[in-house]
Amino acid sequence: MPVVPTRDILARAFAERYGVAAINIVNDLTMDAVLAAAEELKAPVILQTSVKTVKQTGLDVLYAMWVEMARRTTVPVAIHLDHCPERDVISACLAKGWSSVLFDASKLSVEENKRQCIEVVAEARRFGADVEGEIEGFKRTEDMTGDEAQHVQSLDVVVDFVRETGVDIFAPAIGNAHGTYKTAPTLDSQRVTDIVEATGKPVALHGGTGMTPEQFSDLIARGCAKVNISTALKIAYMQSGFDFMTEHPGDFDPPKIFTAQHTAVKEMAKHHIRMFGSEGKAW
């Protein structure tokens, strides 16, 4: 299957109310493992790259890896740039061939965010790419105070932002955060319904690691078609390497540890794909 526009992958998921796993990969091994999981389960998948990964690996190398690995897959795949406040990185990724970008101007005023987001959407369209927008920003789980769901913009502000900018996906704050929750978060799921009904656009669920299966099903049924997972991959990748070395002290043969890590990341991805209901949804 060729690389499919993010909007096409999400349109089906949104219409049928399943969630597409959007998983942050960090290198070639994790990219391959997530694609292998999607392939095994016949699921569409979105690979996400952070700005840090783009800079660390280098745009050209990362993209070359993607093209080669995507070419071997038979399921619909897209590559997405996660939280990016840097316009030059957005432009470079769009020009290179990324399927979609999240323009993260949540630290700016809504008006300035909107002004710049309109430019980003126009730029993305020239490359046939899509844009995710956000106006509230997400905390790290360790910085949560418990009242996150109250510090959000009004529905009118959200609807105006989505309409004026023309973003394809919106990422609302609903009490979610990035990292490892101490306990399952209290989420304002009604806010997802309100936004979806008012905008007709799919919602991106951030901070997926650590939410319960019930929370995922509920939010996906309300229109969270893109479900972001990052911390779970980091844990699977690093912990499996640590476990391998603990169980095999002195075994410094790299391919063995890589195999253990690949299996752990692939299983983590399969677990989430199944939980989000996208198994067998490839076309």
**Which residues belong to the active site?**
82
Pick the piece of the chain touching ligand 13P (CB under 6 A) from 13-21, 56-64, 222-230, 252-260.
Answer: 222-230
CB of 227 to ligand 13P, least distance (A): 9
231 near ligand 13P, rule: CB under 6 A: yes
CB of 190 to ligand 13P, least distance (A): 20
Q: Which of 4, 9, 24, 62 binds ligand 13P (CB under 6 A)?
A: 24
Q: Which lies closer to ligand 13P via its Cβ, residue 83 or residue 114?
A: 83
228 near ligand 13P, rule: CB under 6 A: yes
Q: Which lies closer to ligand 13P via its Cβ, residue 102 or residue 257?
A: 102
Q: Which lies closer to ligand 13P via its Cβ, residue 101 or residue 257?
A: 101
10 Å CB burial of residue 97 (0-12, 13-18, 19+) is: middle
Q: Which of 179, 202, 223, 277 binds ligand 13P (CB under 6 A)?
A: 179
Ranges within 201-220 binding ligand 13P (CB under 6 A): 206-209
CB of 147 to ligand 13P, least distance (A): 19
Q: C-alpha distances in angstroms, 90 versus 94, 125, 264, 269?
A: 6, 13, 31, 26
CB of 53 to ligand 13P, least distance (A): 12
Q: Which lies closer to ligand 13P via its Cβ, residue 76 or residue 210?
A: 210
DSSP string, the chain: --B--HHHHHHHHHHHT--EEEEE--SHHHHHHHHHHHHHHT--EEEEE-HHHHHHH-HHHHHHHHHHHHHH--S-EEEEEEEE--HHHHHHHHHHT-SEEEE--TTS-HHHHHHHHHHHHHHHHHTT-EEEE-SS---BGGG--S-GGGS---HHHHHHHHHHH--SEE---SS--BS--SSPPP--HHHHHHHHHHH---EEE---TT--HHHHHHHHHHTEEEEEE-HHHHHHHHHHHHHHHHHSTT---HHHHHHHHHHHHHHHHHHHHHHTT-TT---
Query: Could you tell me if 133 and 161 are in contact, meaning their C-beta atoms sit under 8 angstroms apart?
Result: yes
185 near ligand 13P, rule: CB under 6 A: no
Q: Which lies closer to ligand 13P via its Cβ, residue 77 or residue 257?
A: 77
Ranges within 79-108 binding ligand 13P (CB under 6 A): 82-83
Q: Which of 34, 229, 257, 269 binds ligand 13P (CB under 6 A)?
A: 229
Q: Which of 178, 222, 266, 281 binds ligand 13P (CB under 6 A)?
A: 178
Q: Which lies closer to ligand 13P via its Cβ, residue 24 or residue 57?
A: 24
Query: Could you tell me if 133 and 101 are in contact, meaning their C-beta atoms sit under 8 angstroms apart?
Result: no
Q: How many residues bind ligand 13P (CB under 6 A)?
A: 14
Which residues lie near ligand 13P (CB under 6 A)? 24, 82-83, 178-179, 206-209, 228-232
